Amino acid sequence: MMADVNAKTNHAIPAPASGPGTTLEKPVYDPTAPSAIEVEHIVKKYGDFTAVDDVSFSVKEGEIFGLLGPNGAGKSTLIRMMTTLIPITSGRALIAGHDVAKEPNAARRLIGVIPQALTSDLDLTIEENMSIYAKLYDVPAKERKKSIDELLELVDLTKWRDAATKTLSGGMRRRLEIARGLVHHPSIFFLDEPTTGLDPVSRVAVWEMLGNIKEHRKLTILITTHYMDEADRLCDRIAIVDHGKLVALDAPMALKASVPGSNVIEAQFENPPADWEQRLHTLDAVTSVQHEGAGMFRVLTGNGSRTTTELVEMAVTSGVPVKSLSVQNTTLDDVFVHYTGRQLRDELQKAYAFVMPQRPGLQP
């Protein structure tokens, strides 16, 4: 496996502990490998509004494929169409060769789905939640216990099996739902934002669980997220979706390499003059500059060290104090800005400002 030369250097999310199941292999994409999922020119319209707009991609067997995009991008709508939950307006989706519109039952037998909202029953124990699902999916009685035991072990919930679900933390409940979604041995697993709302440690725990599961079961995973670091660490390939359209699709490293500039300088200045953004643009090797407010600038450059030296010299000769300065490799944030013209985090903040309060007990 190639080393990830773009690995981030200053990151808020702790790296997973080393050990079996924590480092996910990222295989090189093989277009000739069999497809687990094929999506061809798929469209979803609600009246005049197009929620998903002519999206095509294929997910190869054994891949972890990420759909990355802001709120309202169309991620859940895509998953709902692929998993037979809502009709497709035009185009088609195939699950292991089965057209979901023509052979929904054949497709359903092969998939596990973890919807965005938590759906486990709060009044039941962990084991009861698992067991009901296994019965619903017609898992033969003699296989049920074995499957439940194995999955609870993989998501590290064995010792809580008799605990009432309402007593679990958000992260544990997510892990229960992941285990429950696999109880009937699906080969293709859809997870819609499995870590949204979890604290960083619980998020990493979920990633580790998925790694564990993939080591024990032959599984193709399609996961949606709006966390860049999660997509980067977890996914073999990432499709960036924005306003219902697929705007970029590749391996995380290739996406980062596709953005002009290889380093990002984040610098905060005290009272920068009005033309500071333009002046930063003139520094050697700079490909783009974004003013993020409060004197903070994000500068993309093809040569981090040379630009940093020039930037500090310019600040000193112009009498503009530098309050903070960091240099890092390009991240998926820069990829998102490059392909959409916007910061993903700004989009999320806008959306969260209007989020309805959650029903008590349903969220971590």
Ligand X SMILES: Nc1ncnc2c1ncn2[C@@H]1O[C@H](COP(=O)(O)OP(=O)(O)OP(=O)(O)O)[C@@H](O)[C@H]1O
* Residue 217-236 contact track with ligand X, rule CB under 6 A, x = bound: ---------x----------
d(CA 183, CA 171): 19
Among 75, 144, 174, 184, binds ligand X (CB under 6 A): 75
Nearest approach in angstroms of CB 38 to ligand X is: 20
d(CA 230, CA 225): 7
Closest alpha carbon to 226 in 12, 69, 11, 64: 69
Q: Tokens 């195939």, residue?
A: 94
- Residue 282, helix vs strand vs coil: coil
Contact 154, 179 (CB under 8 A): yes
Among 46, 273, 282, 292, binds ligand X (CB under 6 A): 46
Among 36, 39, 57, 74, binds ligand X (CB under 6 A): 74
Among 62, 69, 171, 181, binds ligand X (CB under 6 A): 69
Going across the sheet that includes 296-301, the strands are 286-293, 296-301, 263-269, 322-329
| Binding status of residue 76 toward Mg ion by CB under 5 A | yes
Nearer to ligand X, 282 or 349 (CB): 349
Nearest approach in angstroms of CB 76 to ligand X is: 3
Residue 34 is given by DSSP the state P
Nearer to ligand X, 228 or 311 (CB): 228
| Binding status of residue 263 toward ligand X by CB under 6 A | no
Nearest approach in angstroms of CB 127 to Mg ion is: 29
Which range of residues in 74-82, 203-211, 227-235, 258-266 is near Mg ion by CB under 5 A? 74-82
Full DSSP string of 49-99: EEEEEEEEEEEETT-EEEEE--TTSSHHHHHHHHTTSS--SEEEEEETTEE
| Binding status of residue 77 toward ligand X by CB under 6 A | yes
Element counts in the chain: helices (H) and strands (E): 12, 14
Nearest approach in angstroms of CB 77 to ligand X is: 3
- Interface with ligand X by CB under 6 A: which residues? 46, 49, 51, 69, 71-77, 116, 226
